[in-house]
Amino acid sequence: MFTKNVFKDLAIFMIGFGVVMGIVFPFFVILATKTSTEIVLTPLFFGMCIAAGFMVGLFNICYHESGIHVMPRGCVWPIFL
């Protein structure tokens, strides 16, 4: 834990995980799609992937803080608790 507030730690982990996924994604694109490295390994593509990961983490924080947590009908989530 980084702070004494669990929700701040959650925010840090959400954004951190998004950024890590943004760093890993270009390499996954090369392996999964056989795209040439000249297209994928550019600063623009890396920057856009990291920015997208950051935005996903930020969206998760906003979603969590909004308090709108609705379980869809037929959700099997309680089985895994």
Residue 63: the pLDDT is 79
Residue 11: the pLDDT is 85
Residue 81: the pLDDT is 47
Residue 72: the pLDDT is 63
Q: For the chain of 81 residues, list the mean pLDDT of each consecutive stretch of 10.
A: 80 90 93 90 93 90 74 59 47
Nearest to 64 by CA among 4, 13, 2: 13
Residue 68: the pLDDT is 66
Alpha-carbon distance of 79 to 55, in angstroms, equals 31
Residue 34: the pLDDT is 85
